[in-house]
Amino acid sequence: MKRYDLMHNINTRGTFLMSQKCIPYLKQAKNPHILNISPPLLMEKKWFANHVAYTMAKYGMSMCVLGMHEELRPDRIAVNALWPRTAIWTAAMDMLSGGMGEKGCRKPSIMADAAYALLSRNSREFTGNFVIDEDILREEGVRDFDKYAIDPSAQLTPDFFVPGAEDVISSGASSKREESRKMMKESDVRTVLENARKIVNAEMVSKVGAVFQFALKSGSGVSEVFFDLKNGDGRVEEGRVESADVYFELDASNFGKLFNGELSATKAFMSGQLKITGDMNKALKLEGMLNKMNKSKL
């Protein structure tokens, strides 16, 4: 409960407390705004599964927007929320991904520019909005978003809680749908594992620090493989490990795509192609591990 209390004290309670303390001063301002870095309120189970406490804390901030914007309307104090469309490379992301998820992120400067655009708007007219960073910048005339990317050539990783993200993920995929349905041969799985063994080492173990168990579904049943990136020099094997930090379930046809760069783990999760249970903080490191392997040209 310590982590639960910490998240709620910082996010929900902190937002409510700071807003209340600032209101007397905001009433004296010419263009007063309260801006919460919190997501749109989407009551969908996928945003709650595996991280209920975090979602409750962030949605608590968004509920402050929902209530306070109407409460403070007579005082012309605007209350809005801002949220990124993609993952943002911050110290927190660096820590959670073990320094391996940078390429699919944007720089914090996109949120800074979006916040400036939002806070520059008339507080009497622009209030009670749940804004996505990219959307408001497009309204301001921004067209070049490559400048915000850590690596403009890399595929961006969508953030959580973004409405319609799964549609963006699946768009353009119809031409490959039949191919995706084909069963992956056991020899193909073994090829992925053999190539992975060439990359796994003590350095990767020190960065990831997790055991990943994969359940691969196909027409002939379910096969299992695991990546021990927590002990010794690391290990990649077929079968089931006694205790894993994270369990992944996906179609065997998508397993190879994860490891050759055709499919992003985050996008697969958000589109329902990849099911995750266990430690979500450690699950985030899978994307970085895959990027490392793809960089090494498996």
- Please give the span between the terminal C-alpha atoms of the chain, in angstroms, as a whole number: 42
Strand residues in 68-121 grouped as ranges (E): 78-83
pTM (predicted TM-score)? 0.69
Q: Are residues 73 and 13 in the same domain?
A: yes
Find the length of the chain: 298
From the list 4, 54, 59, 116, the catalytic residue is 54
Which of 279, 252, 275 is CA-nearest to residue 265?
275
The total of structural domains in the chain comes to 2
Whether residue 26 lies inside any domain: the answer is yes
Looking at the fold, whether 17 and 143 belong to one and the same domain comes out as yes
Are 142 and 254 in the same domain?
A: no
| 4 and 102 fall within a common domain | yes
Distances from the Cα of 3 to the Cα of 53, 57, 147, angstroms: 9, 11, 36
pLDDT of res. 172: 40
Domain of 262, in residue numbers = 178-296
- Cα 131 to its chain centre, rounded Å, is 17
Active-site annotation holds for 4: no
Q: Check: CB of residue 40 under 8 Å from CB of residue 80.
A: no
Contact 41, 64 (CB under 8 A): no
**Residue 66 maps to a domain:** yes
pLDDT for 58 equals 96
> Residue 187's pLDDT is what?
57
The three-point CA angle 101-62-159 to 5° equals 20
Nearest to 12 by CA among 50, 62, 52: 62
Is 161 a domain residue? Answer: no
Domain at 241, CATH number: 3.30.1050.10
Stretches in the chain below the pLDDT threshold 70: 95-100, 164-187, 294-298
Q: What is the pLDDT of residues 199-246, one digit of tens each?
A: 899 988 998 899 999 999 887 788 899 999 999 999 999 999 988 999
Instruction: Give the E-state strand segments of 170-255 in sequence order.
Output: 210-218, 221-229, 235-238, 246-251
C-alpha span between 278 and 19 (Å, rounded): 35
**Dist CA 195 CA 294 (whole Å):** 10
Are 8 and 142 part of one and the same domain?
yes
Would you list the DSSP string of 43-80? --GGGTTT-HHHHHHHHHHHHHHHHHHHHTGGGT-EEE
Examine residue 163 and state whether it is found in any structural domain, yes or no. Answer: no
